[in-house]
Amino acid sequence: MKKQLTLDTQQYHRKLLLTTYFRYDDSSDPPPFTPKSAWTPKLSQVPNTVRKIIRADKYAVKNLPWNHRENPNLNLEEQQALLQLRRDKSIIIKPADKGSAAVIMDRDSYIKEAERQLNQEEYYKKLPEPIFLETVPEVRTILSQLREGGYINKKQETYLMGPDNPRQRFFYLLPKIHKSPETWSIPYEMPPGRPIVSDCGSETYGDLNLTYDPNT
């Protein structure tokens, strides 16, 4: 709790400093595909009123009585039930395609639905082996050409380059429980799934956590 409150306070103070510092700045937004700036104005660069607010917040957080013990919002039986569900390898738990429901599915049925979709040759083609490592130099060559041609700058090139050690993409399904149960892939048992291919960490995935200091 203390760690989270301290982090939230720091984020709030940074937004306050940035809003105050740029209050008269009408410049346009940064270009697309640019890493998020990590720069924060100094206290000396904002009015004294803002400095007083920040100092008062820091003093209040520092002097809070941190011996308070939070009570969990789940009882012991509920916690054990969730732990058992998490360890159960015979089921798959996914969020529904629409709405905020969590769906528990039989693992074998889930795999059959995935295979049913992946075997549709008009949409998918099976490769003898992964090719994502082969596309890394191709992507970087294209980005280098774009930068040399003046279409993107160095920061944009770095942002779009992706990780040095990319991972293969993962395929998964979000169950469409809003469909009529009699039309499901396995009626009343397994709903059709919306196919999702996770691009996180791939060779074309820009690091959204990448930050830079504009003064460097």
Count of domains forming the chain: 2
Same domain for 99 and 66, yes or no, is no
- Per DSSP, the three-state class of 173 is strand
**pLDDT tens string 198-213:** 998 898 887 544 443 4
| 113 and 166 part of one domain | yes
First to last CA, the chain: 35
Residue 7 lies in domain: 2-70
What is the reported pTM? 0.70
Write out the chain's pLDDT in tens, 216 residues. Answer: 778 899 999 999 999 999 999 887 766 577 788 877 888 999 999 999 999 999 999 999 888 877 666 678 899 999 999 999 999 999 999 999 998 899 999 999 999 999 999 999 999 999 999 999 899 999 999 999 999 999 999 989 988 888 888 999 999 999 999 999 999 999 999 999 999 999 988 988 875 444 434 443
Q: Is residue 101 part of a domain?
A: yes
| 84 assigned to some structural domain | no
194 and 95 within one domain: yes
Q: Please check whether residues 106 and 61 belong to one and the same domain.
A: no
| 8 Å CB contact between 68 and 57 | no
Would 50 be classed as within a structural domain? Answer: yes
Residues 120 and 173 in one domain: yes
Would 204 be classed as within a structural domain? no
Same domain assignment for residues 27 and 121 = no
Same domain for 55 and 103, yes or no, is: no
> Can you tell me whether residue 62 is helix, strand or coil?
helix
27 and 113 inside one domain:
no
